[in-house]
Chain A
Amino acid sequence: MIKLTEYLTAINGINHTPALDPDAVEIHGAYVSDMLSDVMGSAKPDEAWITIMKHLNVIAVASMTGIPVIIFAKGNTPDAAVCDKALEESISLVSSTLSTFELAGILYNLLRS
């Protein structure tokens, strides 16, 4: 397990939900997909979600699935309405310029070191 704070540093991430303490968010694993039903069908609760999708339904999917943090790859930045909804649902949102592959690789190594 690592804390979101550690991952944010490793990926040079931007935290879009600073009101949620990144030190209190634990990452045990992740699911990588841009198909929303695939995430709902296969992601496990408490996993981080790495994706390029950033519209409002993404927050609903994370909420229904029990995902505490979404990492947006390739510099994708959610708009204010999406960030507000995420705060309401206590879901942390992070952006990074890195690719999905790099984001997953870095997290994989951190979790296993």
Chain B
Amino acid sequence: MAEYWYYADGFEERVQEQLHNNPEAEVDLDFAIPEKDFNTAGKGSSELKNLLKRLGVDSDVLRRIAVASYEAEINVAAHSKGGVMKSAVHDDLIHVRFEDDGPGIADIEQAMIPGYSTADDLVRELGFGAGLGLPNIKKNSDAMHIVSDIGSSTLLEFFIFFG
């Protein structure tokens, strides 16, 4: 099993505290992401964005959340056999988990390199597959965590604080 953690400066303790305390979310939103269905992929991010907008989340923060979650949804549709997006909205942050049904990431460090992509022709024809998905998620998150095993499944989760 391979694991990858990224923390923006100053966020490691806050994220670990959140995971340790594991408080109940104010709102939970779950969406299925079917394999290679690029019309359904994005619905979860869109609903999440609308919900957070109604809750009054700052527009810059909202945009970071929307981009990170949309990239992650597209990744699940493009690279896995399908999966789920589980958003947990807390008072001060959002925690979004993407769990798929495999086949896993062969080399996470390599997948994090901007420009590296294993996307197929269909995905590239749509204008995805530039190898920027994971770097964009990282860039917009306060923390990002990937657990993957080739031949098994992948978990990607990110945390973004509202203030």
Contact = CB atoms under 8 A, between A and B. Distances in A.
A57 B42 contact: yes
B49 interface: yes
Interface string B18-50: 000000000000000000001100100110010
Contacts of B132: 35, 37-38, 40-41
Contacts of A55: 126
A53 B130 CA distance: 14
Q: What secondary structure prevails in chain A residues at the interface with B?
A: helix
Interface residues of A, number: 19
Interface stretch (A8-16, A20-28, A61-69, A93-101): A61-69
Interface in A61-86: 61, 63-66
Given A35-B130, A57-B38, A41 B139 contact: yes
Contacts of B70: 40, 60-61, 64
A36 B71 CA distance: 10
B71 A40 contact: yes
A79 to B, nearest CB: 13
Interface residues of B, number: 23
Contacts, number: 62
A40 B67 contact: yes
Given A57-B127, A60-B70, A41 B63 contact: no
Nearest to A59: B42
Interface of A: 34-38, 40-41, 45, 53, 55-58, 60-61, 63-66
Given A57-B127, A65-B63, 10 more contacts: A36-B128, A37-B131, A38-B132, A40-B71, A57-B42, A57-B74, A60-B45, A60-B46, A64-B70, A66-B63
24 contacts: A35-B128, A35-B130, A37-B71, A37-B128, A37-B132, A40-B136, A41-B67, A45-B59, A45-B63, A53-B127, A55-B126, A56-B39, A57-B38, A57-B42, A57-B74, A57-B128, A60-B45, A60-B46, A63-B66, A64-B63, A65-B63, A65-B67, A66-B59, A66-B63
Interface of B: 38-39, 42, 45-46, 49, 59, 63, 66-67, 70-71, 74, 126-128, 130-133, 135-136, 139
